[in-house]
Amino acid sequence: MGDIKFIWNRFWIWVRNILIFFFVSSILSVIAFKWVPVYHTPLMYIRWLEGKAPDIKHEWVDLDQISHNMPLAVMGGEDTHFTEHNGFEEKEILKARLQALQGGRERGASTISQQTAKNVFLWPGHSWIRKGLEAYFTILIENIWGKERIMEVYLNSIEMGRGIYGVQACAQEKFHKDARDLTRSECALIAATLPNPLERDSANPSKYVLKHSKRIQREMNAIKDPGWGTK
């Protein structure tokens, strides 16, 4: 009986230490990335191991070196209430869940904050464990980074083509210019390829991408410009 109690106590000490290490290291990582550029993400290595991205094209640029149209475009296409919510769009999550329960096509309801948390700290997937970790990191970056830094990291880490990560690499590969020189329509085309950049091409847009980019431009007109990026 004594041996079982000893093993049980050791087990809980081990669990406690792992949890302490996780929380301390995750919080310190989020604090560090408030200022340190994110040069590598788990998805970059996952794609490389899968053979889907033999070459990784990525160049970090500060938000003031990105066209001010780019934040507006991704908000128009992905998250129109980005500057207003706390990291989650409860209504959209509920709609997506109800649609799935009714047998409809499962659709994403992730905000830009959630996507950034996933891109920087986690891996692709739909398990409850990953979703729970995504929510945890979303709360951290919302409270530690703030909206402007989240947008900066998002635009530098999001997958925008095969082996292409971040808007600077995308601008150079697809439009042969720097991110600061992207036009309004080019930003909308890039945003229209999300969240399926491996199947959609901003430089050679399909009818769907062209149509979606027009809708994004209309959304951009309705979004209050937060003043991020260069004009």
> What would the pLDDT profile of 148-200 be if each residue is shown by its tens digit?
999 999 999 999 999 999 999 999 999 999 999 999 999 999 999 998 999 99
| Claim to verify: residue 114 and residue 153 sit in the same structural domain | yes
Please report whether residue 159 resides in a domain.
Answer: yes
- 100 and 9 part of one domain: no
User: Residue 51: pLDDT band by 50, 70, 90 thresholds?
Assistant: confident
Give dist(CA 70, CA 216) in Å, integer. 11
Residue type, 147: K
The residue whose two tokens read 């209430």 is 81
Entry pTM: 0.90
pLDDT, average across residues 76-103: 76
Q: Which amino acid is at 8?
A: W
Same domain as 63, residue 101: yes
- Is residue 14 included in any domain, yes or no? yes
Task: Give residue 89's pLDDT.
Answer: 86
148 and 50 co-located in one domain: yes
* First CA to last CA distance, the chain: 72
pLDDT of residue 107: 43
Residues 51, 3 share a domain: no
CA dihedral 126, 132, 134, 135 (to 10 degrees): 130
Would you say residue 97 lies in a domain?
yes
Give the structural domain span for 4.
1-32
- The CATH number given to whatever domain includes residue 124 is 1.10.3810.10
Q: Is residue 214 part of a domain?
A: yes
Is the Cβ–Cβ distance between 162 and 53 less than 8 Å? yes
36 Cβ contact partners less than 8 Å away, ≥ 6 residues apart: none
Residues 135 and 66 in one domain: yes
Q: Is residue 167 part of a domain?
A: yes
Verify that 27 and 59 share a domain, yes or no. Answer: no
Same domain, 18 and 42: no
- The answer to whether residues 126 and 164 belong to one domain is yes
Per-residue pLDDT at 103 exceeds 90 = no
Number of domains within the chain: 2
Q: Cα–Cα distance between 108 and 195 in angstroms, integer?
A: 9
Q: How far apart are CA 185 and CA 206, in angstroms?
A: 15
Shared domain for 92 and 16, answered yes or no, is no
Helix (H/G/I), strand (E/B), else coil: 13 = helix
Question: Over the stretch 12-37, which tens digit does the pLDDT of each residue have?
Answer: 889 899 999 999 999 999 999 999 99
| CA torsion, ordered 176, 148, 87, 121, to nearest 10 deg | 60
- Return the residue matching tokens 């847009």: 205
Mark whether 3 and 53 lie in a shared domain.
Answer: no
User: In the predicted model, what is the mean pLDDT of the chain?
Assistant: 90
- CA atoms lying within 13 Å on the CB side of residue 107: 13
Residues 213, 186 share a domain: yes
Amino acid type, 185: S
The mean-pLDDT minimum among 11-15, 110-114, 201-205, 223-227 falls in: 11-15
Is 231 contained in some domain? no
47 domain-assigned: yes
Contact 41, 164 (CB under 8 A): no
In a domain, 131, yes or no: yes
